[in-house]
Amino acid sequence: MPVPADIRPADVGDAAAVADVYRPWVTGSVASFETVPPDADEMARRMTAQPRLPWFVACRDGAVVGYAYGGQHRTRAAYRWSVDCSVYLAAGERGAGTGRALYERLLPELRDLGHVTAFAGIALPNPASVGLHTALGFTPVGVYRAAGFKAGRWHDVGWWQLPLREPPAEPAEPAAWSPGAPARPPEGLR
């Protein structure tokens, strides 16, 4: 696979294709700690959950072959400038720079919406995911030991984090994401 796939914002019309990409990582790996693959309706619900956060898809020859998105790190109010990042590719698409290309769209978008810190939880071992996050500048925070039980055994989860910008003394509210519009930096960042 010589070149990265093309990246574009994702919308609910992509939900079924995104669910297709995700399904094998749920049913056949511990990269996801889910055990029941979400269907298209559930994926559409996640894509439009409030506060709305960015989703991008990677496309090759018109077909969705990967996606990355931001999610709330925790739901309590003081966490609202902190986001979790996730990325999944179709198996045959790995190693061509598409994971990097997705994150190179996602991370600036999260910053421009006003978010301050990106986090990633990675079930260990996962050298490709650790390699991707390290290549994008994430640094290790620590490891949750025996954090999940799947496929007959316990799994550790390593956490990584990336500063998206200098933490402001008085942060503006993060803006909601819209797939049709470029992110508008909040007041004070323009």
Residue 131 in contact with ligand COA, rule: CB under 6 A: yes
> Which of the stretches 11-19, 48-56, 74-82, 89-97 binds ligand COA when contact is defined by CB under 6 A?
89-97
Draw the binding track, 135-154, toward ligand COA (x: CB under 6 A; -: no contact).
Answer: x-------------------
| Min dist. Cβ of residue 50 to ligand COA (A) | 24
> Helical H runs in 96-175?
98-112, 127-135
Identify which of residues 9 and 97 has a Cβ nearer to ligand COA in the complex: 97
Out of 127, 152, 180, 182, the only residue in the binding site for ligand COA (CB under 6 A) is: 127
Candidates 23, 46, 52, 100; binder of ligand COA (CB under 6 A) is 100
Q: By C-beta, is 124 or 189 nearer to ligand COA?
A: 124
34-40: long-range contacts, CB 8 A cutoff, minimum separation 24: 35/150, 40/15, 40/16
| 99 closest CA partner among 83, 85, 113 | 85
168 binds ligand COA (CB under 6 A): no
97 near ligand COA, rule: CB under 6 A:
yes
Going by their DSSP bridges, the two strands 139-150 and 117-123 should be labelled as: unpaired
Nearer to ligand COA, 139 or 178 (CB): 139
Are 115 and 167 in contact, with CB atoms under 8 Å apart?
no
Selected from 17, 53, 64, 132, the binder of ligand COA by CB under 6 A is: 132
**Among 95, 89, 83, CA closest to 21:** 89
Backbone angles phi, psi at 15, to 5 degrees: -60, -45
- What 3-state class would DSSP assign to 161? strand
Rounded to a whole number of angstroms, the minimum distance from the CB of residue 168 to ligand COA is 28
Asked if residues 137 and 95 have their Cβ atoms less than 8 Å apart, the reply is no
Among 31, 65, 106, 164, binds ligand COA (CB under 6 A): 31
* Residue in 106, 103, 116 with CA at minimum distance from that of residue 73: 116
Binding mask 107-126 for ligand COA (x = CB under 6 A): ---------------x---x
